Structure 1
Amino acid sequence: MKIRSITLSDIRQFTRPVTVGGFAAGLNVLAAPNEAGKSTLFDAIHALFFIPHRSSRIGHLRPEAGGNPEIRAELDLPDGPCTIVKRWGRGAMAEVIRQGHVIARADAAEAFVTGLTAPAEEGGPAGLLWVRQGVIALDDGSRKEVEGALLARRDLMSSVTGEFETVTGGRRMDRALARAEADLERLVTLRGPKAGGPYDRAKKAVESLTAMRDDLAQKQAALRDALDRRRAARAEIAQWSDPAEAAHRAQRLVAAQAAHEEATRHAERLAGLQATADHAALRASQAEAELRRLTEAEAALRRASAGARSAGEEARAAEGAHHTALAALGDSRAAVEAARAGQEQAEGVLAAAHRAVAQEAAQKRRAELSQRLATAQELTQRLLGARAAAQTGPEAAAVAALERAETTLAVLERQGAAAAPQIVLRYLPGIAARASIDGAALEGDSPLPVLAPLTLDLPGLGALSVTPGQTVDARGLAEARAERDRARAETGCADLLAARSALATRTSAQEAVALIEAQLRGLVPEGIEALKAELATLPEPADITGPVDPAAAEDHARQARATLEGARQTEARAAGLESEARTRALRATIAAETAARALQQAEATLAAFGPVDEARTTLAAALAAATAARDTARASHAAMAETAPDPSATAAALARARSVVEAADREVARLGEDLVRLETLIDVHAGNGVEEELADCEARLARAGADLAAHEHEVAVLRCLIAALTEAQATARDRYFAPVMAELRPMLRLLWPGAELRFDGESLLPTQLIRDGRAEEIGTLSGGTREQIALLLRLAFARLLAKSGRHAPVILDDALVYSDDDRIERMFDALHQQAGDIQIIVLSCRNRAFRDLGGQKLTFTEAGAV
């Protein structure tokens, strides 16, 4: 089924018939402002299919002024086009028309319409595909609507897949899964064996017996180790206590002590000879050093004399060069002063030229601001007049109210004229007399509707009174006229034409106000007062004095600056040369003074030796005597050292002999203590029957282990069974939802590449969105994401309905209200993708957002008077 056009008459605000036509087989878009009638169109389509023509549940569609709602729809059905007409209220009727012939009326027409689509609460597809304003998710709406939508989904999915019980694998599978889960819960929890359960008791018994077995085995091993260690300790004590071995250790200790004492005495004599040799070597070294100092003092005196002469000559030359550099620096400083005076004079001339240019620019700016101020003041006066005109005349709302009142009165008058009795007078030829009403002659052969009681004056006969009875709504007419008069009074105009003219005048004045304000904003963006303040800051016009040639003055000033810069560079070079000369003179003076001090010190050092020749002879004799004494002492020390024993070797031998004796005593004492402890341990373990207890514990542990293995096997079997049943359920669910996922997946991945939906087997609705490898609950998603998923799912259901031979249009009233700019573009792609096989009708108040949706554009157009 596809809608081709629909006409509304006396439906809410549509007191005059309007038509929405030109529906395409694919995507259709009706985008209009709020209160334009989109939701009215949605409710009218719903009423056409689901409210019988004799029903009184039509008040929500009736206009405020009253009337009989009527809807006419042209449809394309599999067996050909047809027209359905329904009217409620007075003259209620229902008809189905095909090829110009009525094929069904009244109840037969209602049965024909019911056969097209069942109501939503009874599982009809409209519950899936027709989304009224404010509804987002598939489970929104009243309880009946939610239950009807579930029934529709089940009917659709069952008809597509041919099965329903496979969603859960059958009730026997449910019972088997519940039993397995209950048995598993009796044994284990998520954390492990259930506390107090048979599995937990068996596991704890094995753990307790294992700990006992390990403890007894450890005690048995300790007993055997103690017996072995006791035998070894007894044998070792016997070895250490042998008398011959003890005597041998004592003899070795006495011999080592005697050898160490002899080595110590020999080392003391050798140290005395070494001290004598060292003292003689020291005296020889001192005599050699004194002789070397005398020779060095003579050489230093010669070097100091030559250095003093050279440094004096350099100091005098450097001082002359410094005086020359000082004179050159003075000359360059005088040149700088002369250049600075010339530059100051040139800068003064340039500043005067700039002041003249600035004064000329200020005079031009003052003239410009004065002109703008005059224009702004003129516009301000015009704005005051335009604003006054913009406040005169009726408001747009009052004119609209008058138009509605005139329309309502005209409709009532036409309806009254159509339903009221009429009077037609036909005069005989040659009769000049004429009947009249309120003094106005009544022409013949012209029908006169009787809308209210009236009296006809019949000349020569009398008067004829006519009462229309109940056929005319006189009260309604009176109220409509009163409302019309009140609306006229509100506008202050005599009729609708005058009100429209006055409104147009006021609108023109408002537009003029906006235009003048825009001109003022462009002319004086910061206001007239700011313009006046800027004008006040400008200097008063004055005569321009002096030459106004900034270029020549700038050139002269640039030359003066260059001259000054050259003089400063010359001064800087002269100052550098003077500084270098001064530094060289200072360094030369310091070097001369240093050389003089070095000469004085060399002379003083050499004078301390006395006569040089006598001092050299005395020091040479002392050096020879000290050298001979040193050589004799060293020879005696070497002869004794060849026969000296090594004290460190004798000390090591003595320490070794002592350690052997002490170690034997300690080892015998330790072994005795160990033997006492081992005897006590052996007595304790042997008396407790450790080996018998260990054999009994191992037998009990084997029985407990078998019991635990049985419980573990049962848990593994139950878990395997639950996994198999769960996998079977998942496989059945995937097979059941495969058709809808096949339709949904391409649209879903327009929004989220690689995304999937996970469905619930009871509600047949998605419970999780899986994207980027992460499952998100539908209830935790944003309103926009849930709205987009619900819309895509409705489109998938529509395609499944079409494939099952039940074509039905998808109608969306203000959908996608929560979608951002990027998502809405991709949702538009999805709508276009599905519009190739199904008819989609989108109603929206977001004209700008839906401008890029494309599809067939729909509008309300007047259908003419019925």
Structure 2
Amino acid sequence: MKLQRMRIEQLRQFRKPFVLDNLQPGLNLIHGPNESGKSTLVRAIRAAFFERYRSTAVDDLRPWGDSAAAPTIELDFEHDNRAWRLTKSFLQRKRCDLVVGTDTYSEDDAEEKLAELLGYQYPKRGVSKAEHWGIPGLLWVEQGTGQDIEAAIEHAGDHLKSALNSMVGEVASSGGDDLIEAVRGQRDTLLTGTGKPRGDYQKLEKDRAHYELEIEQLKERVHKYQEQVDRLGKLTHDYDQAELERPWDDAQRQLEQARARYQQVERLQQQQEQEKATLAQQQQTHRLLQQNKEHLEGLSRQLEGRKAELNRAERDLTVAEAQTPAVTGRLTEAKAAYEQAEKRRKLAGLLQTRARLEQDVRRLEQQKQMLGQNLAKAREYHQQLEQARQQARENRTDSELVRKLRETGNQLNEETIRSRTIATRLSWQLDADASLTLNNEALTGQGEQQLLEESTLVIPGVGTLGITPGGEELASTRRKLKTLEESLAEQLKALGVASVAQAEERLSAFESAGRAQKHAEDLLKSVAPAGIEQLVSEQSEAESELEKARRQLEATPKPNPDEEVPVLEEAEAAFARASAALDKAESDAREHQSGLSALKQARDNAQTEWQRLADEENSPQRQQQLRQISADLTTIEKQQAELGASLERREREIREARPEFLRQDIERYQNAVNQLRQTQEQRGRELRDIKVRLEAWGAEGLEEQLNEKEAEYDQCNRRYQELHRRARALDLLLNLLTEKRQALTRRLQAPLQKHLNHYLSVLFPDASLEVDEQLRPGTFSRGTELGLITELSFGAREQMGLISRLAYADLLREAGRPTLVILDDTLVHSDSDRLEDMKRILFDAASRHQILLLTCHPEKWQDLGVPPLDIQVSKEQGA
């Protein structure tokens, strides 16, 4: 089966018609970014085959928000040398049409025809699921399911076995199967497929375990009952003694005494904190008064310092003003040197620009000439390419049909030669005037003829002889000759030729045209990689650039020949030095002016500060402040001494009282009171609980219940042992019968195992993979490693799943069943080395099957050897 074209409309994101055509019979690489529609294309193919056209459970096909949509899918494919076209619409316009050659099917007949062709079934109701998909469910891999192959094989198992049986024939009688099924039926009433009990056997096992649990629980309750009786006596003695002694009252008196002592210490600590705060406040006041006193006494020293600063500022200002003429002169000289250097640099740049433009003109003229030559060659090669294509169209021939025609012709020649060896031979030699009549044809002279069919020989004057060639082999040869002659005629008609030789000539001409087309394409790409239109565009662009360069050259003035033109590098270096010198001179001038302003400001500030201090030193308020500050300092120092002595006495009292131990005593006595009361309350509650519990257990009759349960357990255990022995015996018998059956089944597995080994040798050269009775890949071995395929890593399971699917496809192809392989974003977990091996496997399988590989990572498949098909580009072109 070869999918050639698909068209979808009003389906999910494809609201407008989208066409995917020119699909190759082998490998097809279809790529696009996420949400570009790859999975939608796969869903469309699945819906076209799997979903009933009248189904109401396919709302996922509807474009979002479009309740009036009618999702439509149209597929063109080829199978068994016949063209098939399927058109199916859902929801608002339910319809299914199938055209096979000249035959037409509609509605349910069309769907059943497709299901019979591909090997799947439709659901009775609702959406199609994996259990209905059969062979396509095995070969069409959805995104992220490449490693999950067991369920797909199970759903396609009947179709695979049917294909194997058609190849190797039935290898086992049904009698053995009936016996196995009978034993399995009896075993399955007692055991599950994994050997677990079921039915009555399972119920007895559960009842047996339930009895054991109940007996154990009853024994435990009897034991606890005895323990509770002992516990009741001890608790009663402890409770009565505690009520008599009341130890919690002593602990409560000690707690009250500790609290009273601690409250006294707390009052002392509060008084201590208050006096500490008062002392800190007095110390802060003392520091402020001392600072004010030092400030007032230090005014004379500050006045002398300010006078010295004023004299120094006036001297610095005088020196700076004397340097102003020299700084201005250096700035004027630097500006003149800069203007001269700039003029010479512009002159050198003009000369270099003209030289560059002249060089560009020469380069563009050469480029224009080269492009013109390439354009002429490209047009010549393009003409050769069109001639090759025309020859290929005129002689297009299917090599497979020619091969089949050649085989039919050879078979016809062989059968003709063979018929001559076994036909009845009639020879004659007659007188000159004598003649015979064979099948109404006159015979004269001498000759020979081979007879394959019943004939009549008339002898004049004698009568008529009937000749009947004998033997079943001759009749079979005659029928085979007729069949081969009719087949040869049909094949010649299909190819439109008169003979095998003419077909060979057309095929040779077609292949020769293909080689010529490839050669012409290579020559065309060598001179026009991007096409002739691009080459014409490049030539026009080169002409435009050449004209532009010529205009710029004409617009650039020539330097005066008498004027000395410096070298550009030297002129730029001289300009840079002059620019740097000018920047230095300007910077020096700015710094000098800024320094001069700063010195003037400093002189003015020093003058102001000196005058302020002089006025303050001579004021009468300063003397009064000094006398008042001295008196306040004496008073505060006396108060500080008195507070210090009081704090020391109280600190000693607090330390001797040990407040931290008093807090611990309060906590300890409180905990003791609570613990003693809680312990007594807990004894009371436990006494009440034990009394109630013992009364309840005594009323239940625990020992009588234990005896009854043990008797019921014995009866259940005897019946369980009977079914246990029967289940083991049936399981053993079934295993023996199955082993005999498996020996016959291995003949059925051999063709599939051959294809698996073919692919496995590429991926794991020294490994083997066995197929179980249900045709599922099971045990995997490599060297000393042995395990199940499900125990491999995720990436390895994905790879094994793919090669298994390709092996099933080869098997189906040998059995004459249609195959189509669809891989949606598969092998994403393969490392680079394994991915390279899988590419070899896919390329090999594509020689036998059509493969649609959809991916969002085209860069990983660029060495696959097939042209990629970009969905996004196709959508934009269709729009």
TM-score, scaled to structure 2: 0.47
TM-score, scaled to structure 1: 0.47
